[in-house]
Chain A
Amino acid sequence: MKIIKNIIAVIAILSFASYAQARDQIKIVGSSTVYPYATVVAEKFGKQGSFKTPVIESTGTGGGMKLFCAGIGVNHPDITNASRAIKSKEKALCEKNGVKDIIEVVVGNDGITFSHSVKSPDANFTKEQLWRALAAKVDVNGKLVENPYKKWSDIDASLPSKKIEILIAPPTSGTRDAWNSLVMNKGCSKAAKSLFGDKAKKECAKMREDGYAVEAGENDTLIVQKLAANPDAYGFFGYSYYLANKDKIKAAAINGVKPSLEGIQDYSYPIARPLFFYAKKAHVGVVPGLKEFLDAFTSKKAMGSRGYLTDIGLVPLASDKYKVTRTAAKDLVTIALK
């Protein structure tokens, strides 16, 4: 019994002693879309040897913001990754908890690829066709009805006569958020928008639940495997997953444009979006290596047009935008919270 008592005492002392200390390791939370890029930078940063490798949690954009905005101090993360810009609600939460100086860094661009198995022929869709295939309610002959389309050819005669089957990301994912604003809202027909009235934004983004759009979970690798196995199914995810699995899946063209580095960079590919991370200025100088990490992440070697992040599918920023983001990281430029 005495031994057990001693062990418990040692553990208690150990834990209290060390969490009272300052943290010597950068903590990062946030988006699972930015996670692959942030982890590569973190690993290289740790290998240089001056600082410990940052710890990165994949919590999703929303979850990351909640943790990030919970306060200042070593118990709160230093950086949060985001696959969309910070929302005004989140800014207010940050401000309420004393997180006043936030540095915004645009990491690069990502194109959401709408993909299918290599076994099925090349495809091309417009945003409106995608919206019609996915929406809960669509307009037919000037009236709002529950989505009646069962085959792609029901939407447009030029599309194949195949059953509609789309694997979609769950509502918690940042990719779904981006898909909603870039495809569902943009593709929503004018007639439907006027019929929806004030609630158009929300109603256009609502997806059908009659089995033609299947929620497939946050795991993009799993979606890739399902697409490879089923030539009739379609799915959407980040560009890097398409690049890594080119032998199994093909990307469909959107409005006639196929995703490519150049197309995503200049936004001529219609469903491209920027990726971000946010850092706390108050933690610079408190958590060792934070300033150097910001420098390493935004360096030409990482984010530049020939940087190592492009190898795994991050689309680099155009040079004028790169300059802005580089200055923000170097000079710790903070964003306005209101």
Chain B
Amino acid sequence: MTKEQRLKKRYRAEKRFKMYGLISVSLAVIFVLILVQNIFSKGSSAFSRTMIEVEVNYDSSLLELDSPINQNSLKDADFYDLAVESLLKIYPAKDSKEERQILRLFSPDFEFEIKDFLIKNPNKIDQVVPVKITASDDIDQLNKGNFPRDLPEDRRRVSNYQLNIYDNLIEKEKINKKFNNYLFTKGDSRDPELAGIGGSLMGSFFTIIICLVLSFPIAIMASIYLEEFAPKNKITDFIEININNLAAVPSIVYGLLGLGILLSVMEFPRSTPLVAGITLSLMTLPRIIIPCRASLKAVPPSIREAALSVGASKFQTVFHHVVPLAMPGTLSGTIIGLAQALGETAPLILIGMVAFVVDIPSSPVDPSASLPVQVYLWSEQAERGFVEKTSATIMMLLGFLIVMNFIAVYLRQKFEKKWN
């Protein structure tokens, strides 16, 4: 081989390598795009809710109200009869079977929605007013085009009779969509049109706060001590190896630890953010300690030497000079650690967080679910309406993770000093 041929060969190898790199990067991008596209196309419809407009006759004689009529007497009243009376008027029904089918066009909460409207507008009593009522998930999915309608009746969720009513209502422009605030304000429900992530969002929030409060100070103290004060000997080497090992332990093992110690021995309440926070902080501790130590190590020795040379004590040197300089790296390490904890499901299964919780938790000791657990729970439901809910929750979770990671990157880039 001549010199030129060898040169060409070496260049070819370089080109090939570049090609491989490009292919693998574009493969990764394509997979991410497919994933995101899949989630968004399924989930975006969850942000709207189908409403049916009904003329409601607020006939006070049907309510058995205690006089005087005020907010409290309205709150205690039973609106079921009044609600059914008005709903059945939207279309003629010839028997009780058809009446039942009409009621099933609406979400089972219709009586409460009709009641809430009157409580908000008490002057509408004894009047006929149009009220928008949430449609049932079958109508919702039909309206969003997720149910095919050109199938034989026995393979459809909606009967021919219900389909007639639906078409009739569409013609009269009584069916419309609005922004789905229930998705954010309500807790879990077995009716997809009423289910929301309010409860699991609070659960995740409490969990992350407890995880932060417990793991952040401990991790910082541990890393400062190990990096700045501890003597370098076999014991500290051993501890360091173990911290690195712990960071690689599968998260479910921490769940077992939480189950065995927090729930069985210490008898903490099951399914609560308190237990989840403690368990996840055990998991995040080593994952925070490692970047903390790295950022302390990155502070150049000249800073320490300068402080010591003007007579600062070791303690002053570390806390007045080294730690503030290492803070950006420490904070971004913590945030990334917490972001991992936010997306964790496996350890929560063992401590009972995979639960149906309707009431929105108001403290860390109330039973609760968390966002990733909500994804898991809804993905198992039979009802079609939960498919879009699942994807919407994944979108929210991804959103939080992206925001947290963005903050971490921002902190590091904005405040980190370059030593050169």
User: Interface of A with B (CB < 8 Å)?
Assistant: 1, 4, 7-8, 11, 14-15, 18-19, 23, 25, 27, 32, 35-36, 39-40, 42-43, 46-47, 52-53, 55-59, 75, 118, 218-222, 240-241, 243-247, 311-313
Residue of B nearest to A8 (CB): B213
Residues of B within 8 A of A39 (CB): 190, 356
Residue of B nearest to A222 (CB): B379
Q: Are B382 and A221 in contact (CB under 8 A)?
A: yes
Min CB gap A132→B, angstroms: 30
Within 8 A of A (CB), among B127-186: 147-148, 151, 154-157
The complex places the Cα of A35 from the Cα of B190 at a distance, in Å, of: 10
Residues of A within 8 A of B382 (CB): 36, 220-221, 240-241, 243-245, 312-313
Residues of B within 8 A of A57 (CB): 270-271, 352, 354-356
**17 A-B contacts (beta carbon < 8 Å):** A4-B217, A14-B363, A14-B365, A15-B274, A15-B364, A18-B363, A18-B365, A27-B270, A39-B356, A43-B189, A43-B190, A59-B354, A222-B379, A240-B382, A246-B156, A247-B147, A247-B151
Most buried by B among A42, A58, A221, A311: A221
Residue of A nearest to B109 (CB): A47
Q: Is B384 an interface residue (CB 8 A)?
A: yes
Q: Indicate the size class of the contact surface on chain B.
A: 35 or more
15 new A-B pairs (CB below 8 Å) besides A19-B269, A75-B270? A8-B214, A14-B365, A15-B364, A39-B356, A40-B190, A47-B112, A55-B357, A57-B271, A57-B352, A58-B354, A58-B380, A219-B380, A220-B380, A241-B382, A312-B382
Min CB gap A57→B, angstroms: 4
Min CB gap A4→B, angstroms: 5
Most buried by A among B157, B270, B379: B270
Q: Are A19 and B380 in contact (CB under 8 A)?
A: no
Residues of B within 8 A of A25 (CB): 367
Q: A36-B381, A247-B148 are in contact. Are A56 and B154 (CB under 8 A)?
A: no
Min CB gap B326→A, angstroms: 17
Residues of A within 8 A of B214 (CB): 8
Q: Are B190 and A52 in contact (CB under 8 A)?
A: no
User: Interface of B with A (CB < 8 Å)?
Assistant: 104, 112, 147-148, 151, 154-157, 189-190, 210, 213-214, 217, 267-271, 274, 352, 354-359, 363-365, 367, 377, 379-384
Residues of B within 8 A of A7 (CB): 213
Name B's interface SS.
loop
Residues of B within 8 A of A35 (CB): 356
Q: Are A55 and B268 in contact (CB under 8 A)?
A: no
The complex places the Cα of A220 from the Cα of B380 at a distance, in Å, of: 6
Min CB gap B346→A, angstroms: 14
Partner of B365 from A19, A222, A243 at Cβ < 8 Å: A19
Residue of B nearest to A77 (CB): B270
Residue of A nearest to B357 (CB): A55
